[in-house]
Amino acid sequence: MRFDFDLFVIGGGSAGVRCARIAATHGARVGIAEERFWGGTCVNVGCVPKKLMVQAAEYGAWAEDAVGFGWDITRGGHDWAGFLARKDTEITRLAGIYRRLLDGAGATIFDARARLVDAHTIEVGGERKTAERIVVAVGGRPERPAIPGAELGIISDDAFYLPEMPKRIAIVGGGYIGVEFAGIFAGLGAAVELVYRQPLPLRGFDADLRTGLAEALVAQGISLRPDSTPTRLVKGEGGLRLHLSTNFSIETDCVFFATGRVPNTAGLGLEQAGVTLKPNGAIVVDEDKRTSVPHIFAIGDVTDRINLTPMATAEGHALADTLFGNRPRRPGYDNVPTAVFSTPPIGTVGLTEEEAARQGPADIYVTRFTPMRHTLTGRQRRTLMKLVVCQRTQRVLGAHMLGEDAPEIIQGLAIAMNAGATKADFDRTIGVHPSAAEEFVTLRTRTRVAGELAAAE
């Protein structure tokens, strides 16, 4: 059978665009469809605009801190509308780059929704196209909680286009989106309440990081509501009122639900094509990204594995090389570094203390200090740095940091850890002085041992 395309990619985000572009450069006939915006969540309503918002919020604090260094800077009001306009200009520029990359590689672009009619046929923009292989890379979408009045709140997609900066905002969710936007809105002058169901924010992260972040959020003036879930949201004369499971209620101007994301697979025709899904809608794949239908693949957040943009990009590239580049390979999932752009930010790679302890005894090194900058500004901000080391091999299993420049610092440590660095390798490395980063190579005194009981048993 002669197909219209060797490969058809559904989804124009980081995973899909990389896969389509590399496959096309290998000589494949490639079609790719995107119904909303090129670049996907990351470029349009995720990583990129969010970091610009984090940076916008930082300038207000820097203006206040400048007096400690002899500068007389008066902090004025923030031009929300002007900032959004400049943000939108940059996002439009980046989305255009994604299209141009595909055009340059020779891929056929469809600005339309695509769905599977059968295992080899795609309906896109009123046409039907056939493909020998199909890749699903549609990502995820934010989800509102199933409570009365949830439609009165916003989700993360909406936060990038709010017509006005709210004076009061309640953010529901203690994951990375919730804590990041708590810092953003607090930095831009809003009164922020952060509601989450765990005792500490950032479930799944290292416990010391979680505790340190909670303290940092309070230091910014953010009101924390742990061990709480929303029960209903109502509109009143004074704004919105969010009712919580603790019988407490919050009056606010805006409620932001950061309560999770789900794979964006509804209505794609996957079931008709025979593709197996998990209960949450995620596509089941093997180690080669192959679904239950051998010639249909899925990459990126739609598989709900490691939902990070660089991971999605790596998966897309590896799959294209495997299918069309005569270079079969898989991306690595060990020691994947990640950042949370909270205030201050977090950088982390490898195992948490809890995860390492389950594998056997681990030496734990922790330091907390006030950064040099804030010895003059007086701002109540502490940096936390931590190493998790296998006691038997002395290999560094985890590195975690809460503090300014943490994402920039953790990237280098991820390289070292992927190369198998031991604590002795860290110890013999000369630090860059004066810097926060040097603390990672000057940690000499073990704070505690984790996992001894598990080892004894």
Q: What is the average pLDDT score of the chain?
A: 96
Check whether residue 353 and residue 378 sit in a common domain: yes
Global confidence as pTM: 0.96
329 domain residue, yes or no? no
Could you tell me if residue 454 is inside a domain?
A: no
Q: Is the pLDDT of residue 371 over 90?
A: yes
pLDDT category at 122 given cuts 50, 70, 90 is very high
E-strand ranges in 101-144 read: 108-110, 114-118, 121-124, 127-136, 140-142
Which of 259, 289, 312 corresponds to the end of one domain? 259
Q: What pLDDT shows up at residue 377?
A: 96
- Residue with token string 């201050």: 344
With H, G, I as helix, E, B as strand and everything else as coil, classify residue 8.
Answer: strand
Beta bridge partners, 121, equal 118, 130
Q: Is residue 52 part of a domain?
A: yes
Single-letter amino acid code for the residue at 315 = E
Tens digit of each residue's pLDDT (9 = 90 or more) over 243-286: 999 999 999 999 999 999 999 999 999 999 999 999 999 999 99
Q: Looking at 259, 276, 306, which one is the last position of a domain? A: 259
CATH number of the domain at 371, please.
3.30.390.30
Asked if 65 and 199 sit in the same domain, the reply is no
In this prediction, residue 19 carries a pLDDT of 98
Task: Say yes or no: 129 and 273 in one domain.
Answer: yes
**Catalytic (active site) residue 295:** no
Q: What is the pLDDT of residue 183?
A: 98
Residue 147 has pLDDT above 60, yes or no: yes
Closest C-alpha among 39, 190, 36 to residue 102? 39
State residue 456's pLDDT score: 46
Among residues 274, 296, 324, the one where a domain terminates is 324
Q: Which helix (H) or strand (E) holds 172?
A: strand 168-172
Q: Are residues 37 and 131 in the same domain?
A: yes
Question: pLDDT class for 454, splitting at 50, 70, 90?
Answer: very low
Based on the fold, state whether residues 46 and 159 are members of the same structural domain.
no
Name the domain count of the chain. 3
Give the pLDDT confidence score for residue 75 in this predicted structure: 87
**Cβ contact 397:386 at 8 Å:** no
Same domain, 97 and 63: yes
Q: Are residues 378 and 366 in the same domain?
A: yes
Give the domain CATH number at 295.
3.50.50.60
Residues 255 and 267 in one domain: no
Given a contact cutoff of 8 angstroms between Cβ atoms, the answer to whether 34 and 139 are in contact is: no
In a domain, residue 279? The reply is yes
29-86, pLDDT tens digit by residue?
999 999 999 999 999 999 999 999 999 999 999 999 999 999 999 888 999 999 999 9
272 shares a domain with 235: no
Please tell me whether residues 266 and 255 are part of one structural domain.
no
Residues 423 and 320 in one domain: no
Please indicate, yes or no, whether residues 68 and 127 belong to a single structural domain of this protein: yes
Q: What is the extent of the structural domain holding 399?
A: 338-446
